[in-house]
Chain A
Amino acid sequence: MLTLKFPETNFQPLLAQIAGLDVEYVGAFFAGGGAVQFVKDYKAAGIKVPLVGSGFLTEGVLGPQGAAAEGIETALHYGDGLDNAKNTAFRAAFKKKTGRDADVYAVQGYDAAQLLAIGLDAVKGKFDDKDGLYKAMRAAKIDSPRGSITISPGQNVTQNIYLRKATGGQNKVVGVAAANLADPGTGCKL
C-alpha cells in the first residue's frame, strides 16, 4: 500500500513507483481536488495498469478530469443511468428545482429525509416519542433512486453497490458489484 499525507498533491514519487510494479490493477482512494489531480497525473504518467477505486475517485469531478478519467471503473452505491422509475422521477425533479444534475450526495440527502418522514409518520408527528420513531425508522423500507434500501441491524443502509465505468463524462452503471450489502457498522455505539 502506498500512501501520502493530505493535502500533498505531488504524486510523482508514487506514480514512478507504480510504473515499476507488476500488478493487474491499481486501486486508489481520492476524492475532490486530489482525485482530479491524481487521475490526470496517472494518465500523464502513461501507466498501462487499469486504475480502479471507490466511486469518489470520479464522483462529481469528471468534468475537470476530462479524457483522463475515461474508462476508469469504480464502485459506489449510486451511479449515472440507473434504470428505475424512482430514479428517473427524482432526477427530473431535482434538475427542475436546482438546475443541476443529481449526484450521490443529492440522493443521500433525499433518502435521509425519506427515512425521517417514515419515522415521523409512524408516530404521527410526535417527535418526543423517540422509541416509536426509532422503531419505525429501523424497520423502514425506502424506495430510493439508488434502488430499494433497508436499515441493517448495525443501523447502516443495506443497499446495492454498483460497478460504474466513466464514459463520456458520466459514471455509467455497468453492473452490481455487491447486491444488498449490509455494512456491519462495527464502530457504531448506538
Chain B
Amino acid sequence: MTGFAAQLLNGVQFGLLLFLVASGLTLIFGVMGIINLAHGSLFMLGAYAAFLLAKATGSLWLALPVGMAGGALGGALLEWTLFRHFAKREHLDQVMLTFALILLAEELRWLIAGNDFHAVPIPAALDFSVPVTRGFSYSAYRFAVIGICLALAGAMFWWIERTRFGAIIRAAAENPEIVEILGLDARRVHLIVFAIGTVLAVTAGMLAAPLTSVYPGMGDGLLIISFVVVVIGGLGSISGAFWSALLIGIVDTLGKAYGPAFQGTGALGTILAAMSGSSVYLLMIGVLLWRPAGLFGDRS
C-alpha cells in the first residue's frame, strides 16, 4: 500500500503542475472566448527560458522572476498585437492563428536552443532526497514545486473570489457584454487576463524544466491533457480546473502505473493494458456523457 501512497503523491504533484497550465487556458477561454492552442508552446518557451536563464545566471531562483516578468510582458504583447483582433472572430480563425503561433514558437526554440534535449540542474539548496515511503524518496525540489503550485493556486482563488478585479473577471466569464455595459474597460480586462494566463504557463514550464528536462515539442502532450482538464472542470471555471487537474494527475499516474499489469490476463486485460496511457481520455468521455458542461461547469 505504501507504493500506492507514493503514486498518489506523484499524481498530486503532476496535477498541480497541470493546474498552472490549465487555469490559464480556462481563464482565457472563459473571459475572451479564445481557444489558445499555443498555450502549450508558452509552457515549452518557459522551460527553455529556465534552461537558458539558469545557465546564464547560475540559479533557477534568479531565472524564475525574470521569466515570469518576461511572460507577463510577452503575454500582454501577444494580446495587444494579435489576440485582441481575433476575440470576436470565428473559432476556426483563432485555431489558425494559435496553430501558426505553435509553429513560430517551435522555430524560435530551434533557432535559439537547437533540437537537443537539455537537462536543467535542480537548485543546489534543494538537491537532496526526502524519504516518503519505505524505499522511495522524493527530491526536495519536487516538494518545493508542490508548495509553489499550491501558493499560486491560493493566490488565484483569492484574486478571483475576493478582489474587485476578480469580480469583474467572473462577470466577464459569465457574460462578456456586461463588462462594457457597466462602463468597464473590457480591453484592459482582456490584456490582464491574457498576461496572467501566459505567466502561469511560463511559470509551469520553468518549474517543470528540472523535473522533465527540456526538449522539442514538450508542450504538445501537456496542451492536450490540459484541454482534458478544462473540459472536465468546466470551461472558464478556476476551481473546476483545480479539482479536475488533481483528478487527471492522479488518474493519469495510476493508469500508467497499474494499467500495464493487466497485460496477459485475458482479452479484457490486454485492452485495459493497451489503454492504460489513455485513462484520462476515457474519463473525459465518461464525464462528457454524464455532465456535458463538466463537473464544475454551469449546467444551465
What is the interface of chain A, defined by CB distance below 8 A to chain B? Answer: 2-5, 7-10, 12-17, 19-20, 32-34, 36-37, 40, 43-48, 64
Contacts and interface: CB of A to CB of B under 8 A. Distances in A.
Contacts of B13: 12
Interface string B60-87: 0000000000000000000000000000
Interface string B237-265: 00000000000000001101100100000
B135 A33 contact: no
B212 A3 contact: no
24 contacts: A2-B260, A7-B117, A7-B218, A8-B221, A9-B215, A10-B14, A12-B13, A13-B10, A13-B256, A16-B257, A19-B6, A19-B133, A33-B117, A33-B118, A33-B215, A40-B119, A44-B122, A44-B137, A44-B138, A44-B142, A45-B138, A46-B135, A48-B135, A64-B121
A36 B256 contact: no
Interface in B114-171: 116-119, 121-122, 129, 131, 133, 135-139, 142
A33 B215 CA distance: 8
B117 A20 contact: no
A33 B131 CA distance: 26
Contacts of A3: 260
Interface string B252-294: 0110110010000000000000000100000000000000000
A36 B135 CA distance: 22
B59 interface: no
Interface in B176-222: 211-213, 215, 217-218, 221
A42 B72 CA distance: 35
A89 to B, nearest CB: 31
Contacts of B257: 13-14, 16-17
B58 interface: no
B213 A12 contact: no
B271 to A, nearest CB: 17
Contact of A46 (B14, B137, B215): B137
A46 B131 contact: yes
Given A13-B10, A15-B136, A16-B257, 4 more contacts: A2-B260, A3-B260, A19-B3, A33-B213
Given A33-B118, A37-B213, A46-B129, A12 B137 contact: no
B35 to A, nearest CB: 25
Contacts of B135: 19-20, 46-48
Among the interface residues A2, A12, A14, A15, which one has the most CB atoms of the partner chain B within 10 A? A12
Contacts of B253: 12-13
Nearest to B140: A44
Contacts of A47: 135-136
A43 B14 CA distance: 19
